[in-house]
Structures are given as structure tokens and as C-alpha cells.
Chains A and B, each alone.
Chain A
Amino acid sequence: MEALIKPEIGLMFWTIACFVLLALLLSRTAWRPLLQAVEERERAIKHDRHTAETARAEAEKLKAELDAKLAELKAEISSRMDEARLSAEREKDLLIEEARKSAGVIIESSRREIEAQKNEAARDLKNKVAELSVLAAERILLHQLDHRANTDLASKYLAELEKERPELKLGGN
């Protein structure tokens, strides 16, 4: 049983030699490529994350910029709309005013025309009535020349009538 607890020096030597050799060889053949691959992957992951974060920050900045621009545009649009509405209002007022003015002018000129026409018509009428009266009188005179007295009477009545109702006075004004 003492073989169990009596260390064999030669085997100890083997162990140490074996282990030292393994440690030297494996660090070159196994652990270095393994750790290199791991580090490369870690670096790649870090790089990817960094890139993604940068891209995200960029996108956020861009979005903020666009938002600002949009708000600006909205404000401008609303101001332009207000301006346009105001100018349209002004234009409308102006047009109405002008129309009113020109309508007034037309009305005025029509009134004047009417007045002139009326005067003309009155003058014509007076002339025609005078002529008719003269013709009627002529006929009457032709029929009743001998009745001089009637003529006198007629003119006398006419004069009376004219005096009583001056508006019927022919060829007045």
C-alpha cells in the first residue's frame, strides 16, 4: 500500500516535463489563435455597436433637423396664407369700391341723360302742341271766320286758363 503514497520521482519529472512542454506548445498552437479570434470578434462587435450608435445619433440629428425645417415651413405657409387672405380681402374691398364708384358714375350720367331727354321731349311736345294749336286755330278760324267774336272769346279763355293754371302754360320754362 505504500506505493500509493510514495511519490515516484521519475514520474514527477515526466509530469513536469510533459506539462511545461504542453504549456509552451499549446500557448502557440491553441490558446493564441483562440484568444485572437475571440478578441477579433469582441473588437468587431464593439466596432459594430459603435457604428450603429453613430448611425442612430446621426438619424436622430437628421430627424430633429427635418422636424425643425417642417415647423419652419408650416409657419411660413400659415404666414403666407394670412398674407394672401389679407391681400385678397383688400383686393375685394378695392373692387367693390371701384364697382360702387363706377356704378355711381353710370347712374349719374344716366340721370343727366334722362333729364336731357326729358327736356328735349318737353320742348318737342311744346312745339308740337303749339303747332297743333295753331293748326286747330287755323281750322277754327277757317270755319268761323265770320265769328270773330268767338275767336276773341277763345283767346280770352285761354289767357284765363293760363293764368289759373300756370303749369299748363304751353311752351313755358
Chain B
Amino acid sequence: MDLKALLEHHVTDQIWARIPFGPIDLPLSKHLLMMGIASAILLIVFPLIIRSRSAALAPFRGMIEATVLFLRDEVVVPNMGHKGAAYTGYFATLFFFILLMNLIGLVPYGATATGNLAVTGGLALTTFVLINFTGIREQGLLGYFAHLVPKGVPLWLYPLMFPIELLGLFIKTFALCIRLFANMIAGHIVILVFICFIFIFGAFSSIFGFLVAPVSIGLVLFTLLLELLVAFLQAYIFVTLTAIFTGAAMHPH
């Protein structure tokens, strides 16, 4: 059994076709499909739940409402101030988009779109744009770059600090991208490894394989539950860090 091929099959994207589009060609892939499903749920189901007045949907409405209010009151406003409340919609979209893509990865036949560097990179890029956009909007172009270096730094350190802070801007978002990607992929790889244990031990002798199987399955279940936690946690962390970075860009002091 080829572990490498197995991992690649389960973890990496499968591109079915490519559409040429100017200088880049747009792939049609499994991860894109999963992203599309997440988007469809967000676009169709969420407004339906929120706008409906039926009692059957009330619990779901309550869940969405509680989450959005939590994001507004605990994540966006504390980090970005009351002006930031206007961005609640952006952060709610980001949170639910990431969360849904994470969760779809846990469903059978699903794939984790957020376990793809291009997807997390794209999300990090939007965060990068948001940070700079709100910073420049709040302080002006010159003010934004002037406040890039924290206050209290001696003047002679500015030539050193300015490039570092500028670089930090990219590193922050790059770290966001890598963090989400690695967290989402790690669980899958661990699960695959636990399952492969059964076959590795089974290759020695079938008795070994049967002995290892229950242990492996138990560990896989545990890891799956852990992944469920991580799915929520990483969506929350991505949103919170975006809010913190954006808040820091808006209010440099």
C-alpha cells in the first residue's frame, strides 16, 4: 500500500478541469466544489433561517444570532472599537465561511477546502487587504505608514523598525494562512496514519492487524472529535486575529 498516494488522494486537491482565464487558468476541483457548497449554504440557508419566522427554525436562528452577537460583542468591538461594529457582517461571513469549509471536511465524501494553501492564502489575502484598507481609511495614507512603527521607539531605530514592521504586516497574514492550513490538514493526516497502522501491523500478521484495529479506530474517533473542536477553534482564531490586526491598524496606540 502506497501511503504517499493515499495521503495525496485524501488530503490534496483533485483538479478535474482547468478554464483558461487571462494569465491564470482557473481550476475546477474538489476543494472548489466544497467551497461552493459552503457558499451555497451561506447564501441560501442562512438568509432563509434568519428571515423566516417559523418556530421550527427558531433554534437555528438562535444559534446564528448568538454566534454573530458573540463575534460583535466579544471579538469585533473590543478589538476594533465601536466604529468596528460596522464590520460585524464581514467578520460573521469570514467566521461562517471558514467554519462551514472546516466542517464539510469532516463529512464523509467531503474534503477540507481550508486544508489547501491556496484557499487559506486567499482568505489571508483578504485579511491583508482589510487591515490596510481600514488602517488607511482610519488614519490616512501617511498617518497609517507613520504609525506603523510603535510609539516610544527611539528615532534612530526607525530605519530598522520600519522595514521590520512592514515585513511584520506580511508575516502576520502569512502566519494566518499557514496556521489555518496546518491545523486543518494535521488532523486528517493523523487520522490517516492511525488507519494505516492497521494495515502496517496487518502486513506483519493478520492477528496483529486485528489487535491493533480497535485501538486505531478508538484513536481515530478521538482525533475526529478533536478535529471538530479544531474546526470551530480555528475559525474563531482566524476571525479573532483578523479583528486584532485590523483593530491595531485602526488604532495604533
A residues at B contact (CB < 8 Å) = 1, 3-16, 18-23, 25-27, 29-35, 37-38
User: Can you spell out 26 A-B residue pairs with CB atoms less than 8 angstroms apart?
Assistant: A1-B7, A3-B12, A4-B11, A4-B12, A6-B117, A8-B15, A10-B27, A10-B118, A11-B29, A11-B118, A11-B122, A12-B121, A15-B123, A19-B93, A19-B122, A22-B42, A23-B90, A26-B43, A29-B43, A31-B88, A31-B93, A32-B89, A33-B47, A35-B88, A35-B89, A38-B65
C-alpha gap A33/B68 in the complex (Å): 12
Q: A residues within 8 A CB of B11? A: 4
Task: For B61, give the chain A residue with the smallest CB separation.
Answer: A34
B90 with A27: CB separation less than 8 A: yes
A4 with B89: CB separation less than 8 A: no
- Please tell me if B198 contacts chain A, counting CB pairs below 8 Å: no
Task: For A29, give the chain B residue with the smallest CB separation.
Answer: B47
Task: For B178, give the chain A residue with the smallest CB separation.
Answer: A5
C-alpha gap A21/B90 in the complex (Å): 11
Q: How far is the CB of A1 from chain B (nearest CB, A)?
A: 6
- Please tell me if B26 contacts chain A, counting CB pairs below 8 Å: yes
Q: B residues within 8 A CB of A12? A: 118-119, 121-122, 125
Of A9, A11, A13, A38, which one neighbours B69 at CB under 8 angstroms? A38
Task: For B49, give the chain A residue with the smallest CB separation.
Answer: A30
Give the interface size bracket for B toward A: 35 or more
Q: How far is the CB of A3 from chain B (nearest CB, A)?
A: 5
C-alpha gap A90/B126 in the complex (Å): 102
A11 with B119: CB separation less than 8 A: yes
Q: B residues within 8 A CB of A3? A: 8, 12-13
Q: How far is the CB of A6 from chain B (nearest CB, A)?
A: 8
C-alpha gap A10/B13 in the complex (Å): 12
Task: For B32, give the chain A residue with the smallest CB separation.
Answer: A14
A15/B185 contact (C-beta < 8 A), A10-B21, A38-B65 known: no
B117 with A5: CB separation less than 8 A: yes
B 42-57 contacts with A by CB, 8 A: 42-43, 46-47, 50-51
Provide the main secondary structure of the chain A interface: helix
Q: A residues within 8 A CB of B27? A: 8, 10-11, 14
C-alpha gap A23/B126 in the complex (Å): 11
A19 with B97: CB separation less than 8 A: yes
Q: B residues within 8 A CB of A33? A: 47, 50-51
A19/B94 contact (C-beta < 8 A), A8-B27, A11-B31 known: yes
- Please tell me if B116 contacts chain A, counting CB pairs below 8 Å: yes
A27 with B93: CB separation less than 8 A: yes
The 5 closest A-B pairs by CB, nearest first: A15-B122, A27-B89, A31-B89, A11-B118, A29-B47
15 other A-B residue contacts (CB within 8 Å) besides A4-B11, A14-B122, A35-B89:
A10-B25, A12-B119, A12-B125, A13-B24, A13-B122, A18-B39, A19-B93, A19-B94, A22-B43, A23-B90, A23-B94, A29-B47, A31-B88, A31-B89, A35-B72
- Please tell me if B4 contacts chain A, counting CB pairs below 8 Å: yes
C-alpha gap A67/B47 in the complex (Å): 57
Of A9, A29, A32, A35, which one neighbours B24 at CB under 8 angstroms? A9
C-alpha gap A37/B122 in the complex (Å): 32
Q: A residues within 8 A CB of B77? A: none
Of A10, A16, A18, which one neighbours B18 at CB under 8 angstroms? A10
- Please tell me if B196 contacts chain A, counting CB pairs below 8 Å: no
B185 with A4: CB separation less than 8 A: yes
Q: How far is the CB of B72 from chain A (nearest CB, A)?
A: 8
Task: For A8, give the chain B residue with the smallest CB separation.
Answer: B118
A22 with B92: CB separation less than 8 A: no
Task: For A6, give the chain B residue with the smallest CB separation.
Answer: B117
Q: How far is the CB of B48 from chain A (nearest CB, A)?
A: 9
Q: How far is the CB of B239 from chain A (nearest CB, A)?
A: 13
- Please tell me if B191 contacts chain A, counting CB pairs below 8 Å: no
